[in-house]
Amino acid sequence: MINLAKLDLDIESMQPSSAANLNGLDLTRVVRGLDLSHYVHIIMIAGADHATLSMQALDAESDSPVSKGDGASAIRANMRRARMRTASSLISRAHELAEQHRILREANDRIQEDLNAAALAQRQLLPEMHKDILGFHIASAFVPSAGVSGDMFGCFALPGNKLGIYAVDVAGHGINASLLSVAIGHLITPEFFGSIAFDAGGTPDLAGLVQNLNRRFCSAYNDGYFTMFCAIIDKITGNMDMCQAGYPAPVYVAPDGSSRFIGSGGFPVGMFPDATYENGKANFEEGGLLVICSDAASEAEDSHERPFGALRLCDLVARLRETDVDSIPGNIDKALRDWRGGKTLEDDLTVLALKRTKTDD
């Protein structure tokens, strides 16, 4: 039986205007004219004049025209043929779907393999930091929210007993953010940093470095941008020159245990071509601790959508100041996961912890 409701046929609206005028041939033509996702087997039963009607039914694309005179056995035989044809069609369709599923699965596997390779390549660009550079003990944690990430950071010795450090967070997630972060990571080598982040007189000029990057990455064609914190720390004096470009203010914990944010904000990089940037200064005392976290830390939300917040992060860092520097990034990651009830972060997390241990290397 044809379920007219399932076929979405509005018989009343068809021409001729009355359903009473719709004969089997009309109905067959209407059904064949529908854009159905499945085949409808039509058995047309004629009351008389079988030969003429058979031709008309075949012209209308009916499958099995039979006459009442053929008897019940002929109708049953046609019904059986229809069921067999339907079964055969379903088997064929199942094979097609299985093949399409296989092709999609293989394509997905290839994309996933590419993403895994990209994620691995990106991780290899990020320094695994549990080491001493110029009297600073440095540790890091990098926790991407997906396979690839928009975070990048680096830390290296510069000429003149100075330590250079930067952290970048590209807006957005996924492949676009990852490609930009990798491009930044390739660009900001120690040589590039050392040549751009000082003015002509040899004085640290981190705002000049960020200005340079802003010129390079500003585009009128997309909304891509990144936030950045960068600094140069003098090993001997502890003087820290820095520039904050939209990146969250790092937390500094003094040797006496007092904690505070450093930096007063700044435009992101690559957003406005005429943005200007400011140099900032701070003193990094012996025994002082500096912790740089991407915004995934302060924005981490618990089950009630309450953010972890900058103040809670500052308090956490202050409590961790006596612990081994190597364990600080991991402890912050754990505190954020606990805050979220074990759920993974929605954004990429970077934590960099630096402790000034000595100045007489």
Q: Which is nearer to another protein, 182 or 249 (CB)?
A: 249
Smallest separation (angstroms) from another protein to the CB of 249? 7
What number of CA atoms fall less than 13 Å from residue 154's CA on the CB side?
20
Smallest separation (angstroms) from another protein to the CB of 171? 4
Smallest separation (angstroms) from another protein to the CB of 12? 39
Cβ atoms within 10 Å of 219's Cβ, excluding its own: 12
Interacting residues toward another protein by CB under 8 A: 169, 171-173, 220, 223-225, 227, 244, 246, 248-249, 265-268, 271-272, 275, 295, 299, 301, 305, 307, 310, 347
Rounded Cα–Cα distance for residues 275 and 69 (Å): 90
Smallest separation (angstroms) from another protein to the CB of 104? 24
Q: Which of 269, 314, 307, 309 is nearest to 291 (CA)?
A: 314
Q: 162 pairs with which residues across the strands?
A: 158, 234
Residue with tokens 């979405």: 8
Is-contact 304 262, C-beta < 8 A? no
Q: Which is nearer to another protein, 142 or 225 (CB)?
A: 225
Q: Which is nearer to another protein, 135 or 268 (CB)?
A: 268
Q: Which is nearer to another protein, 232 or 275 (CB)?
A: 275
Smallest separation (angstroms) from another protein to the CB of 246? 4
Contacts of the segment 115-120: beta carbons below 8 A, 24+ positions apart: 115/147, 115/148, 115/175, 116/147, 118/147, 118/148, 118/175, 118/178, 119/144, 119/147, 119/148, 119/149
Smallest separation (angstroms) from another protein to the CB of 333? 19
Question: Which two structure tokens, joined as six digits, stand for 27?
Answer: 């109905």
Beta strands, E only, 22-171: 43-46, 64-67, 130-133, 136-143, 151-158, 162-170
Counting every residue, how long is the chain? 361
Smallest separation (angstroms) from another protein to the CB of 106? 28
Q: Which is nearer to another protein, 92 or 276 (CB)?
A: 276
Q: Which is nearer to another protein, 307 or 330 (CB)?
A: 307
